[in-house]
Amino acid sequence: MTSLNRIKAPINEQIAQYDKKVSSWLKSDSGAITNILTYIHSTRGKGIRPLLVMLTHSLHTTQEQRELTNDRCYIGAMLIEMIHTASLLHDDVVDEAYVRRGKPSAHALWRSHNAVLAGDYILAKSYSVGLKLGEYDIVRYITQAMEELCDGEFLQSSQSEKLKMTRSIYLDIIYKKTATLIGASSATGAIAAGATKESIELMKSFGDNLGMAFQIKDDILDFEPTKNTGKSNCADIRERKITLPLLTVLEEATPSEHKKIISLLSNIRNKPSNANYIIDSVMNGGGIEKAYDVMQQYITAAKSQLSGYADSPIKSALLELCDYIADRKK
């Protein structure tokens, strides 16, 4: 059993129910949209966000309470998964990324306008389901995270123009573009369970820490070959994104080395081979190891937030999910 399967095991039944509901909720009558939706569904990701919603829901419910509130939990999980799916459809257009999960991205197959519209459709449809079923508190909570996601992307895009990255701006970007939706995932499970305000806040903070670690790991994996990750290798540098592995090297570089790297980066669109020197600087300058250490601090913080919960298979699954995120290869 892979470790992700082991993490899912205590809630296999809920996951099966959830998958059935998502397929029925997101059906479209339009042939054009159906083709793209079917493709997106067939290239679905690891499902970490909906998994978190279901695990934290189970963490705060007895079997009996779970049966009464499962539907609320599935709606929250679906909204979060669909916001994530739509954001990636749009992100691949923004980043001009042609590969996702080892397959051509939707805009590579159907062109940008169709990929953007498919993302819009997924958002509209999932909101419409959430509102029709009257889950206003869940919809309201998740919508705040979506605002932050867009804000994070704007911030990242303006930074890639200016090339003046600092540690605090980097952390702000990854908090907004990634951590906040992962934090909303773990909080949503608690909300669906009717947990106390304190538990909801604790779960938000747990997911925020996990989300920070998730994005730092993503930024580390960007330096791995495409065959391992299913994404273009070193795409961040080619897109002029200064992420933690490069940032840690820049922080310790001499002024002349710093100037050289920024100058190579600023001209990378005209001269893609500039990437080679920058990648070597990251690999030889310990950028990956330093970023890994920062990521581990967030993992430790996330795990410590579970310390007040009694031992159970669900708590073990959440702890194992923390390690899975740190150790994942794609």
Rule CB under 6 A: say whether 231 interacts with ligand FPP: yes
* Secondary structure (3-state) at 240: coil
Which one-letter amino acid corresponds to residue 267?
Answer: N
> Please, which of residues 77-106 interact with Mg ion by CB under 5 A?
91, 95
The correct pick among 119, 211, 245, 287 for binding ligand FPP (CB under 6 A) is 119
DSSP state string for 146-187:
HHHHHHHHHHHHHHHHH----HHHHHHHHIIIIIHHHHHHHH
Rule CB under 6 A: say whether 182 interacts with ligand FPP: no
CB of 193 to ligand FPP, least distance (A): 25
CB of 207 to ligand FPP, least distance (A): 14
* β-strand partners of 330: none
Closest CB to ligand FPP among residues 66, 176 = 176
Rule CB under 6 A: say whether 97 interacts with ligand FPP: yes
Selected range binding ligand FPP among 90-98, 131-139, 206-214, 319-327, rule: CB under 6 A:
90-98
Task: Please give the Cα distance from 97 to 239 (Å, whole number).
Answer: 10
Task: Please give the Cα distance from 254 to 196 (Å, whole number).
Answer: 51
Closest CB to Mg ion among residues 93, 195 = 93
Rule CB under 6 A: say whether 135 interacts with ligand FPP: no
Rule CB under 5 A: say whether 236 interacts with Mg ion: no
Structure tokens given for 156: 């990242």
Nearest to 207 by CA among 39, 101, 24, 57: 57
The correct pick among 87, 105, 126, 185 for binding ligand FPP (CB under 6 A) is 87
Task: Please give the Cα distance from 241 to 222 (Å, whole number).
Answer: 11
CB of 253 to ligand FPP, least distance (A): 23
Indicate the pairing of strand 103-104 with strand 99-100: antiparallel
**Count of residues interacting with Mg ion (CB under 5 A):** 2
Rule CB under 6 A: say whether 178 interacts with ligand FPP: yes
Question: 262 vs 22, 161, 287, 322, CA distance in Å?
Answer: 45, 12, 16, 34
Task: Please give the Cα distance from 152 to 132 (Å, whole number).
Answer: 29
Angle in degrees, CA 234, 47, 224, rounded to 5: 20
Which one-letter amino acid corresponds to residue 160?
Answer: S
Task: Please give the Cα distance from 135 to 130 (Å, whole number).
Answer: 6
CB of 44 to ligand FPP, least distance (A): 14
Closest CB to ligand FPP among residues 197, 227 = 227
**Count of residues interacting with ligand FPP (CB under 6 A):** 17
Rule CB under 6 A: say whether 171 interacts with ligand FPP: no
Closest CB to ligand FPP among residues 20, 140 = 140
Residue 103 per-residue DSSP state:
E
Closest CB to ligand FPP among residues 4, 155 = 155
Among Mg ion, ligand FPP, none, partner that 224 touches (CB below 5 to 8 angstroms by kind): none
Structure tokens given for 216: 């730092």
Question: Which positions lie near Mg ion, rule CB under 5 A?
Answer: 91, 95
- Positions in the binding site for ligand FPP (CB under 6 A): 83, 86-87, 90-91, 94-95, 97, 119, 146, 149-150, 153, 177-178, 218, 231
